[in-house]
Amino acid sequence: MNLLIVDDDPITRESYAALLRAEGYNVSLTTDGSEALSRLLRGTVDPSAILLDFQMPRMDGLSFRAAQLGKPTIAAIPVVMCSGAEEPRDATRALGVSEWLPKPVDGETLVKAIRRYAPPPSRPRSA
């Protein structure tokens, strides 16, 4: 399974990536919604789910999700949004955000949320 992590904080982005790679996911990273949208539309990433930060420069999470919904080829990709801010419930519901996780997100909560939208890859059995 492929995941796309969109977060402007390099420490957060890398820690999420390390955790999800350890769970067997292939992970691509971007620093903001604009970069993520561009890569999705060019087809350089093909995620089963997107882990999206709410507050970012250039294009924030809600702006990204609105733009994503306007593009039929990527509109159906589920989005799990994370933020230290309070959830704007009306906006996230209107934009069909699959799930909201308050930051800081513990590893177990993050993995469980991602698994709901992108089942874990099967792992090869050890000999």
22-70 pLDDT, tens per residue?
A: 999 999 999 999 999 999 999 999 999 999 999 999 999 999 999 999 9
The pTM (predicted TM-score) of the whole model is 0.92
Superfamily of chain region 2-117: Response regulator (3.40.50.2300)
Euclidean distance between CA atoms 63 and 53, whole angstroms? 11
Choose among 118, 66, 119, 72: nearest CA to 97: 66
CA 18 to chain CA centroid, Å, is 14
Q: How do the domains of the chain map onto residue ranges?
A: 2-117
Q: Are 102 and 84 in contact (CB under 8 A)?
A: yes
63-101 pLDDT per residue, tens:
999 999 999 999 999 999 999 888 888 888 899 999 999
CA 118 to chain CA centroid, Å, is 11
